[in-house]
């Protein structure tokens, strides 16, 4: 096999350059190996084969069981509508905001608030949003009884609704910041200001100019992030547990319920559901791609018609309003968590608790501290490992003149374009056979699969943009390649390295399924516990856990942002531009 051949080559070739030269290959093996093996390990039980629990022969019985499950058709429909709706809505808001507001001060403000919004895990936002929108939630309380007449929580399904509206809203809150960041990065690469100057000088309004001259160039750059959002929205489990319907849930939640059932025979239809999810995601991406082709043909006609666009005051208001709504809801979600976690008695229509207390935090402190430690350890190991691998790959690229291909980028996105369920069960089967399931190492490795793409993507651009003549100067001064790497390149890149570490940590801290599967249910992090508790009824406890889950990555992010200016306080050449 390729991996063992590679390992052999590493053993017999101890030259220092050899390891570095192998770094990209090694990373791909570490990274794609488990995914491929995990996919196979999910596909076999989907067709009835898993000898460990008595599946000795290939059969279609799991599929029959899946198709005959009560409410399967509704689950399928909900999965597709919520996935497409969340993606289209998120992309729509981002495009609207960029087109309408790219030349305003609001745009720069959005850039500054983006990172903390990204660092907040999905589950925390989803739980906070549920506390806002639920029948007894903050919104109903603020409107009652003076506007609604409610003195008791109304019998309305404002969250966990069967149409999945709350689920879509919860997803949009997290996907808008992600897509906006991807768009801002792409805007830097396509020299948008120059394109806009050309369009404006030809008489186009700001919004029409952006849509016609900038967006067609930017979209190909954000295509993979959009597909990642689509794949994620179709297959997400934690957000769907918190905000989606309980009966006829999404396909992902259905599979997860079966995987965690006492009846092991349900693993077969669960695997079939996971595999179906992978097929659905592939088809959905293909469908989206076709939609792109049709829209781009129509769009070209629209562009070539030459309309210059009008004043666009209403458009600007809509763009700014949509983004402000997303930011406000995210912030409000965190604030309502804070309030609930410190609430004393709090009867329904009252907008505020009658007293504040730290009792909830005190009661949970021991378990919180334990989960906090586990989350921090796993996050630190996964993000440091990912940063090290990414740095080695980028250094190998630099030193040996390796040109990364477009296909390499697709490989990097592979874990983000596949439903997690589709390979995590198979991976767990492998971990069990290797006797490492339920260990911290297994969880770190599973997290690495999702941390590495984000870390690599955030580090690659600044690294490739580094002034290569600095390294050449160091070489001409007699510094060898490794000395140059450690004493010139790493210090100069301190800021992007720390930023990438913080992103990696946030990604790790937010992982639900990988922790559950690789940890075999024995490793509890803030995320797994917050999602598990969210099914219960003690709002104060749920709020404390969800808030702790949100605060840890924010804390790491704050440190990563504050450290470089402190380290370089006497180095004006490395100050933020």
Partner 1 sequence: MSGLAIRNARLGIGQRSLLGPLDLAVPQGEIVTLMGPSGSGKSSLLAWVCGTLDACFTASGAVAVDGTDVTALPAHRRRIGILFQDDLLFPHLSVGGNLAFGLPPSVRGAERQARIERALADAELDGFANRDPATLSGGQRARVALMRTLLAEPRALLLDEPFGRLDVGLRERMRRFVFDRARRLGLPVLMVTHDPEDAASAGGAVLHLVAGGSVRRGEPGGEAADALPA
* In the complex, minimum distance from the CB of residue 560 to partner 1, in angstroms, rounded to a whole number: 17
Residue spans of alpha helices (H) in 47-121: 61-68, 72-101, 105-119
Q: How far apart are CA 293 and CA 388, in angstroms?
A: 39
Total of residues contacting partner 1 (CB under 8 A): 27
Instruction: Count CB atoms within 10 A of the CB of residue 145.
Output: 12
Selected from 191, 197, 300, 472, the binder of partner 1 by CB under 8 A is: 472
Q: Is 11 in the site for partner 1 (CB under 8 A)?
A: no
Are 140 and 154 a contacting pair, CB within 8 Å? Answer: yes
Stretch that binds partner 1, among 124-132, 214-222, 411-419, 488-496 (CB under 8 A): 488-496
Residue with Cβ nearer partner 1 (484 or 508)? 484
Here the tokens at position 248 are 């006829």
Residues 127-146, interacting with partner 1 (CB under 8 A) = none
Per CB under 8 A, 480 contacts partner 1: yes
- Taking CB under 8 A as the binding criterion, the range among 22-30, 322-330, 442-450, 482-490 that sits at the site for partner 1 is 482-490
Spell out, one character per residue from 383 to 412, where the chain touches partner 1: x when CB under 8 A holds, - when not: -----------------xx-----------
Question: 200, 49 in Cβ contact below 8 A?
Answer: no
The structure tokens 């092991």 sit at 264
Q: Is 436 in the site for partner 1 (CB under 8 A)?
A: no
Q: Which is nearer to partner 1, 23 or 451 (CB)?
A: 23
Q: Given the complex with partner 1, which of 146 and 566 has the nearer CB atom?
A: 566
For residues 151 and 348, what is the distance between their CA atoms, to the nearest angstrom?
Answer: 7
Task: Please provide residue 230's backbone torsions phi and psi, each rounded to the nearest 5 degrees.
Answer: -60, -50
565 sits near partner 1 (criterion: CB under 8 A):
no
Kindly state the smallest distance separating residue 387's Cβ from partner 1, in Å: 18
Residue 36 is encoded by which pair of tokens?
């491929």
Q: Say which residue the tokens 């805007």 belong to.
A: 187
Residues 398, 399, 403, 406, Cα dihedral to 10°? -50
Does 16 help bind partner 1 (rule: CB under 8 A)?
no
Query: Residue 556: which of 394, 377, 386 has the closest Cα?
Result: 377
- Please, which residues bridge with residue 50 across strands? 55
Q: Does 481 bind partner 1 (CB under 8 A)?
A: yes
568 binds partner 1 (CB under 8 A): yes
- Considering only 217, 265, 436, 494, the residue that binds partner 1 (CB under 8 A) is 494
Please, which residue, 142 or 575, has the CB nearer to partner 1? 575
* Token pair in block for residue 138: 């903050």
Q: Which of the ranges 76-84, 163-171, 388-396, 479-487 carries the binding residues for partner 1, by CB under 8 A?
A: 479-487
Member of 366, 536, 572, 577 binding partner 1 (CB under 8 A):
572
The per-type count for the chain, helices as H runs and strands as E runs, is 26, 0
313 part of the interface to partner 1, by CB under 8 A:
no
**Share of the chain residues as helix, strand and coil, in percent rounded to the nearest 5:** 75, 0, 20
- Of 183, 89, 84, 182, the residue nearest 453 (C-alpha): 182
Residues in touch with partner 1 (CB under 8 A): 400-401, 467, 469-470, 472-481, 484, 487-488, 491-492, 494, 568, 570-574
């Amino acid at each position: 096999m390729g991996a063992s051949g590679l390992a052999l080559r590493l053993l017999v070739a101890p030259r220092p350059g050899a390891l570095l030269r192998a770094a990209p290959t090694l990373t791909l093996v570490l990274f794609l190996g488990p995914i491929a093996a995990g996919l196979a390990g999910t596909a076999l039980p989907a067709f009835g084969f898993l000898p460990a629990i008595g599946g000795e022969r290939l059969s279609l019985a799991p599929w029959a069981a899946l198709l005959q499950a009560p409410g399967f058709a509704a689950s399928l429909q909900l999965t597709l509508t919520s996935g497409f709706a969340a993606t289209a809505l998120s992309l729509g808001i981002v495009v609207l905001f960029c087109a309408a507001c790219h030349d305003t001060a609001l745009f720069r403000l959005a850039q500054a608030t983006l990172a903390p919004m990204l660092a907040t895990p999905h589950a925390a936002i989803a739980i906070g949003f549920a506390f806002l929108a639920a029948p007894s939630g903050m919104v109903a309380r603020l409107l009652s009884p003076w506007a609604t007449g409610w003195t008791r929580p109304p019998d309305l399904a404002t969250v966990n609704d069967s149409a999945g509206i709350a689920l879509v809203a919860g997803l949009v809150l997290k996907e808008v910041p992600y897509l906006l960041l991807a768009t801002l990065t792409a805007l830097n690469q396509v020299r948008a200001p120059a394109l806009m100057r050309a369009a404006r000088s030809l008489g186009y309004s700001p919004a029409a100019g952006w849509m016609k001259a900038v967006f067609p160039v930017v979209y190909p750059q954000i295509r993979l992030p959009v597909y990642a959002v689509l794949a994620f929205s179709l297959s997400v489990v934690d957000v769907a547990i918190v905000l989606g319907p309980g009966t006829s849930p999404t396909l992902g939640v259905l599979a997860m319920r079966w995987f965690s059932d006492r009846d092991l025979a349900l693993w077969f239809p669960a695997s079939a559901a996971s595999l179906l999810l992978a097929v659905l995601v592939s088809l959905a991406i293909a469908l989206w791609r076709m939609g792109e082709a049709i829209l781009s043909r129509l769009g070209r006609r629209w562009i070539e018609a030459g309309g210059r666009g009008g004043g666009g005051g209403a458009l600007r208001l809509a763009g700014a309003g949509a983004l402000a709504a997303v930011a406000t809801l995210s912030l409000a979600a965190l604030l309502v968590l804070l309030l609930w976690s410190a609430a004393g008695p709090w009867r329904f229509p009252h907008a505020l608790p009658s007293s504040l207390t730290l009792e909830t935090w005190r009661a949970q402190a021991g378990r919180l501290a334990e989960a906090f430690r586990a989350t921090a350890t796993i996050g630190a190991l996964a993000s440091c490992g990912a940063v090290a691998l990414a740095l080695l790959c980028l250094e190998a690229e630099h030193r040996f003149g390796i040109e990364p291909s477009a296909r390499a980028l697709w490989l990097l996105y592979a874990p983000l374009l596949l439903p997690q369920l589709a390979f995590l069960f198979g991976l767990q089967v492998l971990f069990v056979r290797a006797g490492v399931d339920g260990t911290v190492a297994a969880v770190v490795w599973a997290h690495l699969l999702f941390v590495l793409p984000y870390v690599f993507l955030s580090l690659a651009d600044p690294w490739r943009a580094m002034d290569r003549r600095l390294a050449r100067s160091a070489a001409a001064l007699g510094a060898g390649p490794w000395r140059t790497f450690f004493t010139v390149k790493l210090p100069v890149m301190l800021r992007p390295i720390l930023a990438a570490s913080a992103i990696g940590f946030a990604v790790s801290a937010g992982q639900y399924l990988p922790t559950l599967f690789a940890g075999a249910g024995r490793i509890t992090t803030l995320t797994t516990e917050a999602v598990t508790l969210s099914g219960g009824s003690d709002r104060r406890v749920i709020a404390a856990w969800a808030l702790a889950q949100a605060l840890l990555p924010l804390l790491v992010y704050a440190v990563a942002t504050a450290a470089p200016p402190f380290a370089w306080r006497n180095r004006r050449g490395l100050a933020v531009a």
